[in-house]
Amino acid sequence: MDRLPLNYEQLYAKWHRMAPEIRSGHKFFPRSATAEIWESKLHLMHNIIQSHPDADECDRCGQCCRDFPFACRPIEFFYLLPYLASRTEERQRQFFYRQLGRLRGDGRNYCPFHEAAGCSIYPVRPLLCRRSIFGDHICNKRSRQFASFGEWCNFESVVKQLTITNLVYYYDDGPKGSVELNWPLTWSNRQGIVSLTVAPFEIWLLLLLGEQNICRKIMTLENFQPILGFLQGGGLAYTGLSHEGILT
C-alpha cells in the first residue's frame, strides 16, 4: 500500500465547499477547549513565528522533510488551513488528488506538503519543522559530538524551543491544571474517551470534514503506522509510531 485508501475526489468536494468559509476567517474548532482559547493560541503561535524569523542555517534542502514522518498538533493544523484554502482551486485539487495520503514502505506517512520545489507551506509550517528558530537546526545535531539523541534534546537552545512551543500546545484548565490542546473522538476504548493531540495532516483533515468513521478505519489499518498522540481521562496516555491496542 503506497497511499491511504481514501476517496480523494469526495474529500476534495467536501473541502471545496468549506474552503470559502476558511478563507473568510471562519474557524471549525473542536469543543475540547473554548473558541477563545483556540484563538489565543493561534495568536500566540503567530507572534512567536513573527518574532523569531528563520535563521540562515536552514538551506531548505528538504532532508528532514524526507527523513521524518509528518505529524502536527491541532493548533498547527488550524494555523496552516487558511494558507491552504487561499491557493488556486486547481492547486488545491491537485493537492488532494496527488499529495495527500502517500505512504512509505514502512507504513509511515510522507509530508503531503513536500514537493519537488520544497516545502509548499513554508511560511506557516508547524513549529516542529522550525528547528532553526533559534539558530540550531535539527540537521546540525549530526555535526555536534553529542553522545545520544537524548543529550541533544537537553541542549540549552533545544530546551528553550520546547518551552516556548509548549506555551502554544498547552493551556490552563483550572482544576485539571495544564492540558494539551486536543481533538475528542466519537469513539472510546476500554480506558474511556480518546482525544488526539498529535496526528498526520490527513487525520486532522478527516476530522475537520466530519469523517470520523473513516478516520477510525484509517487509523486502525494494519499497514499504516503514523505518529499519534492521545489523551485519555485528562492525562497523556500514549505517543508513538504504532497505535496497536489503543482503538480496540
The per-residue pLDDT for 61 is: 78
The per-residue pLDDT for 212 is: 93
Residue-wise pLDDT for 28-71, tens only, equals 999 999 999 999 999 999 998 888 777 666 677 787 788 778 89
The per-residue pLDDT for 124 is: 95
From residue 205, give the alpha-carbon distance in Å to each of 149, 179, 212: 31, 22, 10
The per-residue pLDDT for 66 is: 82
From residue 86, give the alpha-carbon distance in Å to each of 22, 24, 47, 165, 198: 9, 10, 21, 26, 25
| Residue 186 neighbours by CB distance under 10 Å | 11
The per-residue pLDDT for 188 is: 64
Enter the pTM of the model.
Answer: 0.86
The ranges of the chain with pLDDT < 50 are 132-135, 143, 234-248
The per-residue pLDDT for 140 is: 56
From residue 64, give the alpha-carbon distance in Å to each of 115, 163, 184, 219: 13, 22, 30, 24
Q: Which amino acid, one-letter code, is at 42?
A: L
- The answer to whether residues 102 and 18 touch, using CB atoms and an 8 Å cutoff, is no
The per-residue pLDDT for 52 is: 78
